[in-house]
Amino acid sequence: MSGPTSPTAARTAGDIMIEADGVSRAFGSLRALDSVSLSARRGTVLGLLGHNGAGKTTLVNVLTAALPPSSGRAAVAGFDVTRAPREVRKRIGLTGQFASVDPQLSGRDNLVLLARLLGADRRSARVRADELLELFGLQGFASRRPGTYSGGLRRRLDLAASLVGHPDVIFLDEPTTGLDPSSRLNLWEIVEDLVAGGTTVLLTTQYLDEADRLADSITVLSAGAVIASGTAAELKAQVGTCTVTVTPDSAAGPAVTCAALRQAGLEPVPDRENGTVAVAVEASKDIAQVIRALDRAGIGATALSFREPSLDDVYLALAGRSAGAAS
């Protein structure tokens, strides 16, 4: 009944631990996932970036065999999620976007319960629970119920819960939302340790510094579709190596500025929220090109900054581009 979808494929492509191939998922008329393809090798971190409603959680649900895809194929640890969901579940850990712990059991008892359900005897269940409590700095809260925890503590317990069974592949859906800076750093270190030990991680996040630091490869989702993927460096290369940010004065405004820069052969991206315009340029000497274009159009700028690209620029540029294409 269960088993790898294709034994030879699983063995030869053994290093691919997460794989989606044209996965779509509709909710009524809404296409929450639109032909998504991605893959991650053993011992790497795949970062999944996207706005609210981009489809990150839906994709995690499909990959963890909680939600059947409408079409397409997905495999985790070499097992097809629709045909061998049990094999998939044996090898994964999931920290969902919303905490999943029993509020009536103490922190330790929550972990012990999961270990017992995974087949541990009483003793090794307790040993494993204590290991994880220590790893996440929860020893002091072990005998309290999660109902009395702060949001961040509950989040940490939830993360610990997903690691109980030593999973090969871990899915973390916005794992650091609600964590304070030091807990975030602590979590990053835990993820790095796990990955060094051969665990594969899929991590969704809204924090670009998080993806930049942890992810070996990044997939950007927008309205259910993959709009970009690659390493952080590759994504940065896609939007140019450097960014000039222009803050036009109120007489001009972002729209006029964009038009002027486009006329000069540049590719400006407006950031309406901040009233600025970002321009990708090849190198620092190209700032002159931007200034000349503004000067020619008679646009005054209140501020002009130059920055090496960050993932934020990539994200903004890609999301802006796809939003432009959609409208």
Partner 1 sequence: MTTPSIGTPNPAPPVPDPAPGPAAAVWNGSSTATQIRVLTGRSLRALVSDPGVLAFGLFQPVIILFVLTQVFTGMGKSAHFPAGVSYLDFVMPAVLVDNAVQSAVQSGIGVVDDLKNGMVARLRSLPIHPASLLVARSLANLVRAAIQIAVVIVLAVVVLGYSPKGGAGQLLASAGLAVFITWTLGWAFIAAATWLRRAEPMQNLSVIALIPLMFASSAYIPVSDLPEWLRVIAKVNPLTYAIDTARALALDLPGAGAAVPAVLISAGIAVVGGVFAVVGLRRPL
Nearer to ligand ATP, 72 or 254 (CB): 72
174 binding partner 1? (CB under 8 A): no
Q: Does 97 bind Mg ion (CB under 5 A)?
A: yes
80 binds partner 1 (CB under 8 A): no
Q: Compute, in degrees rounded to 10, the torsion defined by CA atoms 138, 157, 86, 81.
A: -130
Q: How far is the CB of 283 from Mg ion (least distance, A)?
A: 38
Q: Is 196 in the site for partner 1 (CB under 8 A)?
A: yes
User: Identity (one letter) of the amino acid at 219?
Assistant: T
Q: What is the 3-state secondary structure (H, E, C) of 156-193?
A: HHHHHHHHCCCCCEEEEECCCCCCCHHHHHHHHHHHHH
- Tell which one of 52, 197, 251, 325 touches ligand ATP (CB under 6 A): 52
Contact status: 32 vs ligand ATP (CB under 6 A): yes
Structure tokens at 105: 């059991």
144: contact with partner 1 by CB under 8 A: no
Binding region for ligand ATP (CB under 6 A) out of 55-63, 130-138, 143-151, 240-248 = 55-63
Under rule CB under 6 A, residue 57 binds ligand ATP: yes
User: Could you identify the residue written with the tokens 């049990």?
Assistant: 86
Cβ–Cβ < 8 Å for 88, 64? yes
Residue from 73, 83, 116, 213 binding partner 1 (CB under 8 A) = 116
Residue 58 sits in the site that holds ligand ATP (CB under 6 A): yes
Q: Is 53 helix (H, G, I), strand (E, B) or coil?
A: coil
**Residue appearing with tokens 């909680």:** 66
Residue closer to ligand ATP, measured from CB, 36 or 239: 36
Of 132, 135, 80, the closest CA to residue 108 belongs to 132
Cβ contacts of residue 324 below 8 Å, gap of 6+? none
Q: Which run of H or E residues covers position 77?
A: none
- Residue 69 found at the interface with ligand ATP (CB under 6 A): no
**12: its two tokens:** 């030869």
Binding site for partner 1 (CB under 8 A): 2-4, 7, 10-11, 14-15, 42-43, 61, 64-68, 77-78, 86-87, 89-94, 96, 98-105, 109, 113-120, 124, 161-162, 165-168, 193-194, 196-199
Binding site for ligand ATP (CB under 6 A): 27, 30, 32, 50, 52-58, 97
